[in-house]
């Protein structure tokens, strides 16, 4: 089963749960990240392999 996460696509790769996102953490807050202040991207997260992938993408656990 996959879950929804919001991730920074900059170098920090910060990952935020949907609960935190709803509480207002909608942008990257890592000072030295190249995407600092930019909107996070909705991704699906697979807890089994600890990977994120695009929404709707076929995901195969390795
Ligand atoms: Zn970032
Ligand atoms: Zn997986």
Residue with tokens 């089994």: 48
The pocket of ion ligand 2, defined by CB under 5 A, consists of 46, 48-49, 61
Identify the nearest ligand to the CA of 39 by its number: 1
What is the three-class DSSP state of 36? strand
- Write down the domain spans for the chain: 3-53
pLDDT tens-digit readout, 13-59: 999 999 999 999 999 999 999 999 999 999 999 999 999 999 889 99
Strand residues in the chain grouped as ranges (E): 3-7, 15-17, 41-46, 51-53
Tokens linked to 55? 């929404």
From ligand 1's centre to the CA of 15, what distance in Å? Answer: 9
Q: Are 4 and 44 in contact (CB under 8 A)?
A: yes
Q: Is the pLDDT of residue 1 over 80?
A: no
**How far does the centroid of ligand 1 lie from the alpha carbon of residue 29, in Å?**
7
pLDDT of residue 19: 97
């Amino acid at each position: 089963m996959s879950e929804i996460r919001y991730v920074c696509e900059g170098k920090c790769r910060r990952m935020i749960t949907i609960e935190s996102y709803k509480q207002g953490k909608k942008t990257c807050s890592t000072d030295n990240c190249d995407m600092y202040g930019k909107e996070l991207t909705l991704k699906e997260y697979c807890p089994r392999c600890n990977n994120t992938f695009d929404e709707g993408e076929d995901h195969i656990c390795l």
